[in-house]
Amino acid sequence: MAAVNFYQLFQQFAQLEIGVIGDVMLDTYWWGHVERISPEAPVPVVALDKKEQRIGGAGNVALNLSSIGAKASIISVLGKDEDGKQLTQLFEQHHINTSFLVASNSRVTTNKTRIISRNQQMMRLDAEMTTDINKDEEALLLENVALYIQKKKPAVIIFEDYNKGVLTARVIEKVIAFCKEAGVLTTVDPKKKNFFAYKGVDIFKPNLKEVKEGLNIQLEEINKEHLSRVHEELKRQLSHETSFITLSEYGVFYSNSKETNLLPSHRRNIADVSGAGDTVIAVASLVYAATKDLNLMASIANLAGGLVCEEVGTVAIKKERLLRECEAVVVN
């Protein structure tokens, strides 16, 4: 790999338009402290110190893109409710284009409320719908995707699937077809339900657990040989270009018809793995769109995923910190 001018590369990100389609969420955090057990039941009493709301789900992918300088648009269906309004406001505050969102009267906006004390999550409360969007919502969403491609001419569209019903089999098939026709790259962060629906995508990025579940395999030993066989089986069923598999403490693996590699992880003080996959797919998609270099894509995304695990809760990667780490760690 030729020497990389990372400062110049990161400057290129500002020229790229990236779309994210998938399940958006509002992440609510209640931070407090515990001093006693409730007299009403054997549970801790959390004295609330502060409340915070963040962008979650597919929105966190768009947030990561915006945070490192790209032009990001979010394409999804959310509820016509207060949580939906709050989430839309958060997108706009972080310079994420909301023109292609669909607000539905029949759905609620997903809101995950986490109660945290001493940097430990004590409980999570989920308000959500997980049924597939209906035919009318599908039609509106697909109209928005077609309009987005026509107006914004994105470099990449990222599918971020959380099994909440936005990415139906029909939506997945149609959006991939739209992108192929327009010459737009597609990358996917899948979940189990639609695991094999993403036929013909450019980059398929499951994690190790999703690969095991999707292919129904044990994969007790993590090495290049075994993972290469995993890629071949995925390719047999998906006919995609590249597999990019995140392996937690084992690092990342990528493979296509031209190259295969297993990159080790970097030692980190892990505080919370929430949102790490969102960061990895965002950074990988952006770097690949800018360079078409798989090894550089995997190296920088691997680094970014580890960095966000050092912070509590869902957070976006910070451009300046990632740039410093790339200059210090990524081998040219």
Looking at residue 124, its amino acid is R
Alpha helices, DSSP H, located in the chain = 6-12, 58-67, 82-93, 135-152, 169-182, 208-215, 224-238, 276-291, 294-308, 319-329
Per-residue CA distances from 24 to 20, 60, 91, 112, 118 (Å):
10, 8, 11, 11, 28
Query: Residue 99 gets which letter from DSSP?
Result: T
What is the DSSP code (8-state) at residue 131?
A: S
Residues 48 and 82: beta-carbon distance below 8 Å: no
Assess whether 278 carries a catalytic annotation: yes
- Beta-carbon-side half-sphere exposure of residue 303 (alpha carbons within 13 Å): 20
Out of 49, 81, 278, 293, pick the active-site residue: 278
Residue with tokens 């030993």: 221
Residues labelled catalytic: 278
